[in-house]
Amino acid sequence: MSMEEAFALAEAEAKLKAALNECQARFDKAKMPDRRNEDWRFGRPHVYAKQLVDTITARDNHNYFERMVICDKGNAATRLTRDDDDLLQTEMLMQTIGSDALLKRHIERFEDGYSLYIEEDTTEVIELVYETRSFCSPSTFIMVAPGVKAEVHIIYSCLEIGNIFAACNIQVAAGAELKVRVQAESDGSDGRCMIITNIQNMGGKVMHLTEYRGLRWAREETVAELYSPGSETKLFSANRLVGDSVLDQHTRQIHHVGGASSDLLYKNVVDDNATAIFAGNIYVAPGAHNTDAYQSNRNMLLSEKATVHSLPGLEILADKVRCSHGSASAPMDDEQLFYLCSRGISRRDAQLLVADGFLADVLNKFHGESQSS
């Protein structure tokens, strides 16, 4: 090793140690979510976050997987263990949006998950399945090598009264193209799921889709960071909420450098007494000129009792940028319903058809849009 390499290595190790110490200090002072926390004020922390904390911290609680499967199509999938120092460091460095205390509990109780390093193009979807009837708290790491194209499908399944707290870290190298579809679902009446995702884009193209189905309560915290000019990150979500379910989604698009682009489109169909919450932020760092960043949250209400809270936001500290955000929440278009009903379709079936078309826009953009376009 040359003198220059030795100095560079020592400098990198010193920076890592300082960052880990800062994270540890952050964890040590982190408080449990409550309604005074701006990032939790609509998410009913006094009910659902408290239940999640009690589940994670229960002394006799462990990861109980009904099924944990990975179909990696020949790539290097590695089972994670709590003895992995790289795992601990990576998770400590993850950003949350108001949930440091919960991530700390996850790190303390973590027992299982997968690391997936994709070195070759994949022609088939790589599938990960986490399924439980009680509680599990898996970690997932996806790393894509330079120039590689791949698609990953992650399924979190809460059977009956199952609960899942998941952490997912995605790192995409220069020239790589990755599509990630995340489905969180429940077949019971009280399934709950929380997913913290960090996406680090080093000059590639990323498309990330979330879908939540049948859960009593779900919280999503997605932080997408763009580190190199030419990076493209697109975030999608399409959900139909029924009963008294709560979906609490928080996102951050962080542009560290100029010449990168990010785009977000989240849509919800909200029925019955359900609640949809969206809080998004676009952050453009000082000097990150020529940034393109967009954010759109659209909600369709099928019931007068349905509730929507939408809080998009911008924080721009650079010049020569194109950044915008938008939010719209409204009942279904009466003209569309009249057109369908006049052709013999019942009003309820007509509502479902219009709702499906509303969400299909998101799914078509994720599935049908070419990554190279």
Write down the pLDDT at residue 53: 75
Write down the pLDDT at residue 370: 43
- Asked if 144 and 173 touch (Cβ cutoff 8 Å), the reply is yes
Residue 353's SS3 state is: helix
Q: CA angle, corner 168, sides to 166 and 173, nearest 5?
A: 175
Cα gap 208→305, rounded to integer Å:
31
Q: Is the dihedral of CA 98, 143, 313, 302 positive or negative?
A: negative
Write down the pLDDT at residue 63: 61
Q: In this structure, is residue 163 part of a structural domain?
A: yes
Give the number of other Cβ atoms within 10 Å of residue 16's Cβ: 12
Q: In this structure, is residue 191 part of a structural domain?
A: yes
Q: CA angle, corner 313, sides to 312 and 319, nearest 5?
A: 140
Residue 366's SS3 state is: helix
Cα gap 249→269, rounded to integer Å:
14
DSSP type of residue 38: G
Write down the pLDDT at residue 373: 36
Q: In this structure, is residue 211 part of a structural domain?
A: yes
To the nearest 10°, report the CA torsion of 53, 54, 58, 61.
-80
Q: Which residue has 């020592």 as its token pair? A: 10
Record the pTM. 0.91
Write down the pLDDT at residue 176: 97
How many DSSP H helices and E strands does the chain contain? 6, 19
Cα gap 61→148, rounded to integer Å:
39
Q: In this structure, is residue 254 part of a structural domain?
A: yes
Q: In this structure, is residue 361 part of a structural domain?
A: no
How would you write the pLDDT of the chain (373 residues) with one tens digit per residue?
A: 777 777 777 777 788 788 888 888 888 888 888 888 889 989 888 888 778 777 777 755 556 676 777 776 666 677 776 667 777 788 889 999 999 999 988 888 776 888 899 998 988 899 999 999 888 889 999 999 999 999 999 999 998 888 899 999 999 999 999 999 999 999 877 889 999 999 999 999 999 999 999 999 999 999 999 999 999 999 999 999 999 999 999 999 999 999 999 999 999 999 999 999 999 999 999 999 999 999 999 999 998 999 999 999 999 999 889 999 888 888 877 777 766 777 778 877 787 788 888 999 999 999 875 444 3
Q: In this structure, is residue 355 part of a structural domain?
A: no
Write down the pLDDT at residue 183: 97
Give the residue numbers spanning the domain of 125.
11-333
- Asked if 212 and 218 touch (Cβ cutoff 8 Å), the reply is yes
Which token pair is 187? Answer: 């077949």
How many structural domains comprise the chain?
1
Q: In this structure, is residue 36 part of a structural domain?
A: yes
Which token pair is 203? Answer: 């000059």
DSSP type of residue 102: H
Cα gap 222→224, rounded to integer Å:
6
Q: Whats the size of the chain, residue-wise?
A: 373
Q: What is the crossing angle of helices 85-92 and 100-109, to 10°?
A: 170
Which token pair is 323? Answer: 């950044």
Write down the pLDDT at residue 44: 85
Cα gap 262→271, rounded to integer Å:
30
Write down the pLDDT at residue 52: 78
Q: In this structure, is residue 342 part of a structural domain?
A: no
Q: CA angle, corner 278, sides to 189 and 190, nearest 5?
A: 10
What are the backbone angles phi and psi of residue 30, rounded to the nearest 5°? Answer: -65, 140
Write down the pLDDT at residue 33: 87
Parallel/antiparallel/unpaired status of strands 126-132 and 67-71 = antiparallel
